[in-house]
Amino acid sequence: MPLPDVHERFLDGLLPRVRSDSRIVGVAAGGSVANGVPDEYSDVDLVLAVEDDAFDQVMRERLALIEAWSPLVAGFTGEHVGEPRLIITLMGPEALHVDFKFVRYTDFTSRVDELQVLWERDGRLSTALAATSPSPPRLDLQWIDDRFWVWIHYGATKLARGELFEAIGFISYLRETVFGPLIQYRHGKLLQGVRRLETTDPDAARALEATVCGRDTGEIGRALLACVDLYDQWTDGIDIAFHRNDAAARLATQYLDQVVGRLGSGPASDSRAAG
């Protein structure tokens, strides 16, 4: 697996130091490194398996350990992404984003994607991985549909009130939470928002351009209308069973049409949900 030079230099310096800590069972890489597609802009996603009886101690020491292993410029824990075992870092002297996830050895095989073992004691990680398979998250379209029309109404109220920055941020949230996962699902990818969308599905990426807007009421209105139309298009005939809330779709779309029409943001939506 060829690595960009900066990634290879980082791992060549890190792994011998990690090996000196007998509490660490092994180190594996995830993400683009594990999947064989890293480039110079890729993060390094590391999973460090720790002996179960030493895990709590290592968790208390992990920032100090990382700093001893490699030049740590900045780092913080990952509670905001629901993963308190994670340390998100900027490493030096060449700037590199590295995620260190510390897990108990007995939890090592619980994963959403493939892992590639970089170093291990006694073959324990390879043996564990060979006996298990990843469990990637599934697209919960019912969860999305239960919320989508409430979200559309919310976005319309922000536009109507003139909270344009809020409306812009909200549309970005829809791309990350709704449209990106819908596209990733169609291609059998992990549901990682809009990551690598331009290469995964260039046509869908071009379609999403309609949801990009500046701080202008007309642009925001047209972007919200495009969100409605794309949602209808990309969920029509999808191979996931879900109950579409047609009443909510009609009410939210009618409200958005009224706001757009009052502000002169563009033509009313011809979304099928409004019919």
- 235 to 17, 181, 183, 212, 228: CA distances (angstroms): 50, 12, 10, 20, 11
pLDDT digits (tens, 9 = 90+) for 98-155: 999 999 999 999 998 899 999 999 999 999 999 999 988 899 999 999 999 999 999 9
Query: Does position 236 have pLDDT exceeding 50, yes or no?
Result: yes
Mean pLDDT of the region 29-46: 91
Q: Mean per-residue pLDDT for 262-269?
A: 62
Task: Give residues with Cβ within 8 angstroms of 140, minimum separation 6.
Answer: none
Backbone dihedral region for residue 237 (phi beyond 0: left; psi -120 to 50: alpha; all else: beta): left
Token duo for residue 112: 């959403």
The alpha carbon torsion through 19, 21, 24, 26 (nearest 10 deg) reads 0
The whole-angstrom separation of Cα 59 and Cα 9 is 26
Mean pLDDT of 163-175: 97
pLDDT at 273: 38
Q: With b meaning 16 or more CB within 10 Å and e meaning fewer, what string describes 161-200?
A: eeebeebbebbeebbebbbbbbbbbeeebbbbbbbebeeb
Question: What is the Cα–Cα distance from 96 to 14, expressed in whole angstroms?
Answer: 13
Q: For residue range 173-230, what is the model confidence (pLDDT) as tens digits?
A: 999 999 999 999 999 888 888 988 999 999 999 999 999 999 999 999 999 999 999 9
CB 27, CB 114: distance < 8 Å:
no
Q: Which fold has domain 5-130?
A: Beta Polymerase; domain 2 (3.30.460)
What is the token pair recorded at 135? 């469990």
Q: Are 34 and 117 in contact (CB under 8 A)?
A: no
- The pTM (predicted TM-score) of the whole model is 0.83
CB-count burial class (<10 Å; 0-12, 13-18, 19+) for 208: buried
Burial of 64 (0-12, 13-18, 19+ CB in 10 A): exposed
- Read off the tokens for 242: 């879900």
Q: Whole-angstrom Cα distance, residue 45 to residue 100? A: 6
Residue 4: both structure tokens together: 């960009």
Residue 265, pLDDT score = 54
Q: What is the pLDDT of residue 270?
A: 43
What is the model's pLDDT at position 190?
86
In the chain the first and final C-alpha atoms are separated, in Å, by 53
Q: Report percent pLDDT > 70 for the chain.
A: 96
Among residues 217, 209, 216, 215, the alpha carbon closest in space to that of 259 is found at 217
Cis upstream peptide for 93 (omega within 30°): yes
Q: Do the first three CATH levels of 5-130 and 141-274 match, i.e. the same topology?
A: no
CATH topology (fold) of 141-274: Four Helix Bundle (Hemerythrin (Met), subunit A) (1.20.120)
Lowest mean pLDDT among 28-32, 154-158, 253-257: 28-32
Q: In this model, does residue 267 exceed pLDDT 80?
A: no
Q: Tell me the two tokens of residue 224.
A: 């919200």
- For the chain, give every domain's residue range: 5-130, 141-274
Give the residue from 27, 30, 104 showing the smallest Cα distance to 66: 27
